[in-house]
């Protein structure tokens, strides 16, 4: 058997290590995970009720159009229902975009380091990948615009960028979009948008009204706390949504996930409380890193990339032995950094104490 030639060398995605795995491997009973940017505060209590109510109906296929969720989300965002597409996580929307727009003979532009799924899916479709280095940890939109060629079909902008947490501003993005050829689809991945408190952040829904070649990606996995349900969405002009629907599996989001997302959306007080606590955690961790003499990028999300100024793998291992799982920067393009999810106050304190010990050890 012979798989397609261009997928043979693809790396298999390395997720953050599961808690149970680390407990077993290190003989620990108390392990915390600050590795996958999950919400340390769980999800709204309304989700549990909604899922319990939905469960007996799960013998039926889900509503492939996610009608109830679509209606509520369109009203919440102030967009047309036809402007939305749902996916099995926004990861699936990334896959649908690559499937619908990329092929051998085309190219696609993205920053590096950035979220790895853009590149993987582009490679699977046989497109040429043009990677533009970050500048001071931020997407270099000028260089990205300059990298676009005649065969470029898609440009990916992760904002805030994962793994750096940095952002591009509204004015920077608007100028970038003005330079973009009309036939190039610009993907703006806003997985962490709800966490952003900086007033200069792009008003992307406003930009959508004047740019038919723009798609926004958002998710219920991060601030809404539904990562295990797998549901995210895209917002774009109907022509883009139509193209993605043609390559979408008919029942790509589960009935239970749709019910969970609808309930989560209705509890904006939960979201606001999480933003507040994330701001406090951001200060707690950045103050702690400064005290340890470590530099980090200013983050606009629920994670921080901190430079430990030595090979990250050893520090990562020393943290694991103390029951603290973070993400080593080695796999993320920052070999001397760790990406740490902002946890609750107790988790952040534990991380800082463990890191102080790990730095001595490593």
- The contact set with ligand PLP (CB under 6 A) reads 37, 89-91, 115, 158, 162, 189, 191, 219, 221, 227, 232
C-alpha 135/C-alpha 309 separation (Å) is 19
Quick one: 219 or 252, whose CB is closer to ligand PLP?
219
Dump the DSSP string for 289-317: HHHTT-EEPPPSSSEEEEE-SS-HHHHHH
Q: Which is nearer to ligand PLP, 87 or 281 (CB)?
A: 87
CA–CA dist 221, 252 (Å, integer): 16
Distance in Å, CB of 202 to ligand PLP, minimum: 15
> Which CB atom, from 282 or from 350, has the smaller least distance to ligand PLP?
282
Whichever of 317 and 330 has its CB closer to ligand PLP, that residue is 330
Least separation, in Å, of the C-beta of 351 and ligand PLP? 19
245: left (phi over 0), alpha (psi -120 to 50) or beta: alpha
* Cβ proximity to ligand PLP, 223 vs 318, nearer residue: 223
Cβ 59 to ligand PLP shortest distance, Å: 26
Q: Which is nearer to ligand PLP, 278 or 322 (CB)?
A: 278
- Give the separation between CA 57 and CA 264, rounded to whole angstroms: 19
Q: How far is the CB of 280 from ligand PLP (least distance, A)?
A: 21
**Strand (E) or helix (H) holding 67:** helix 67-77
Q: Return the closest-CA partner of residue 158 out of 218, 106, 243.
A: 218
Given the complex with ligand PLP, which of 70 and 350 has the nearer CB atom? 70
Residue 94 CB, shortest distance to ligand PLP, in Å, is 7
Q: Which is it for strands 303-307 and 337-341: parallel, antiparallel or unpaired? A: antiparallel
CA 64 – CA 23 distance, rounded (Å): 39
With vertex at residue 275, the alpha carbon angle to CA 252 and CA 220, rounded to the nearest 5 degrees, is 0
Compute the CA torsion angle 138, 142, 144, 150 (nearest 10 deg).
170
Q: Which one, 162 or 348, has the nearer CB to ligand PLP?
A: 162
Nearer to ligand PLP, 40 or 323 (CB): 40
CB of 271 to ligand PLP, least distance (A): 16
Residue 303: partners with Cβ closer than 8 Å, 6 or more residues away? 37, 162, 163, 165, 339, 340, 341, 342
Smallest gap, in angstroms, from Cβ of residue 143 to ligand PLP? 20
Rounded distance between C-alpha atoms, residue 256 and residue 234, angstroms: 19
* Cα 330 to Cα 235: distance, rounded to the nearest angstrom: 33
Minimum Å distance from CB 261 to ligand PLP? Answer: 11
How many whole angstroms separate alpha carbon 287 and alpha carbon 293?
10
Q: What is 114-125 written as a DSSP string?
A: S-THHHHHHHHT
232 vs 288, beta carbon nearer ligand PLP: 232
Beta carbon of residue 301, minimum distance to ligand PLP (angstroms, whole number): 8
Q: How near is the Cβ of 87 to ligand PLP at its closest, in Å?
A: 7
Helix axes 345-361, 268-291, angle to 10 degrees: 30
């Amino acid at each position: 058997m012979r798989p397609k030639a261009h997928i043979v060398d693809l790396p298999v995605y390395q997720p953050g290590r599961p808690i149970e795995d680390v407990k077993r491997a290190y003989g620990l009973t108390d392990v915390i995970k600050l590795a996958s940017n999950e919400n340390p505060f769980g999800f709204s209590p309304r989700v549990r009720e909604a899922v319990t109510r939905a469960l007996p109906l799960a013998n039926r296929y889900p509503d492939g159009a996610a009608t109830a969720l679509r209606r509520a989300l369109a009203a919440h965002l102030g967009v047309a229902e036809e402007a939305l597409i749902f996916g099995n996580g926004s990861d699936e929307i990334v896959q649908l975009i690559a499937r619908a727009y990329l092929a051998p003979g085309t190219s696609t532009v993205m920053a590096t380091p950035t979220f790895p799924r853009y590149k993987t899916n582009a490679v699977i479709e046989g497109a040429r990948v043009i990677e533009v280095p970050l500048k001071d940890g931020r997407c270099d939109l000028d260089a990205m615009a300059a990298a676009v060629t005649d065969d470029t079909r898609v440009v990916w902008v992760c904002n805030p960028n994962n793994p750096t947490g940095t952002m591009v501003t509204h004015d920077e993005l608007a100028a970038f979009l003005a330079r973009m050829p009309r036939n190039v689809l610009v993907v703006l991945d806003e997985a962490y948008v709800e966490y952003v408190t900086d007033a200069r952040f792009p008003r992307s829904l406003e930009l959508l009204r004047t740019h038919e070649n723009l798609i926004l990606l958002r998710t219920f996995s991060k601030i809404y706390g539904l990562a295990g349900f797998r549901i995210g969405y895209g917002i774009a002009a109907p022509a883009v949504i139509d193209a993605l629907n043609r390559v979408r599996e008919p029942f790509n989001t589960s009935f239970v996930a749709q019910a969970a997302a609808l309930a989560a959306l209705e509890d904006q007080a939960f979201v606001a409380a999480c933003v507040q606590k994330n701001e406090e955690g951001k200060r707690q961790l950045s103050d702690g890193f400064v005290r340890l003499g470590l530099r980090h990028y200013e983050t606009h999300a629920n994670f921080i990339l901190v430079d430990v100024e030595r090979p990250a793998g050893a520090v990562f291992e020393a943290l694991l032995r103390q029951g603290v799982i973070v993400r080593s920067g080695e796999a993320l393009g920052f070999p001397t950094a760790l990406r740490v999810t902002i946890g609750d106050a107790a988790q952040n304190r534990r991380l800082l104490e463990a890191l102080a010990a790990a730095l001595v050890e490593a």
